[in-house]
Copies of this chain bind each other. A is one copy, B any other.
């Protein structure tokens, strides 16, 4: 099937599919006319990539996952290790964002938000000690 069919079935834009081919992630057969030709198996693998990317795996991690996907003799422990590492990444990012959120929330909560110029958010960003102590405790 043509690339647009593969795109619809896998959920990946054609541009992305070509890009994956360019970086050697998933190469397609070619027809006489030069058009790419995707099999059902290709589509399954594209779909797999789509979901793995959506789950936060980098393209390089997807490369590993795909080779495990293709490997009939894989050990599930290897897959699990990858997934657990990614889980840790995600938890780390959540923790970082949560502390950002807290800090910003503190600042926002202390800003009266009217037409006067004095603003604890600006002071907080400036690193004004007095304001920071007031705001962050």
**Residues of chain A having any CB pair with chain B under 8 Å:** 44, 47-48, 51-52, 55-56, 65, 68-69, 71-77, 79-81, 83-84, 86-87, 90-91, 93-94, 97-98, 100-101, 103-105, 107-108, 111-119, 121-122, 124-127
Contacts and interface: CB of A to CB of B under 8 A. Distances in A.
Given A94-B101, A101-B87, A104-B83, A114 B76 contact: yes
Given A77-B113, A125-B52, A91 B101 contact: yes
Contacts of A122: 65, 68-69, 74, 76, 79
Contact of A83 (B56, B73, B108, B112): B108
A65 B125 contact: yes
A80 B119 contact: yes
A71 to B, nearest CB: 8
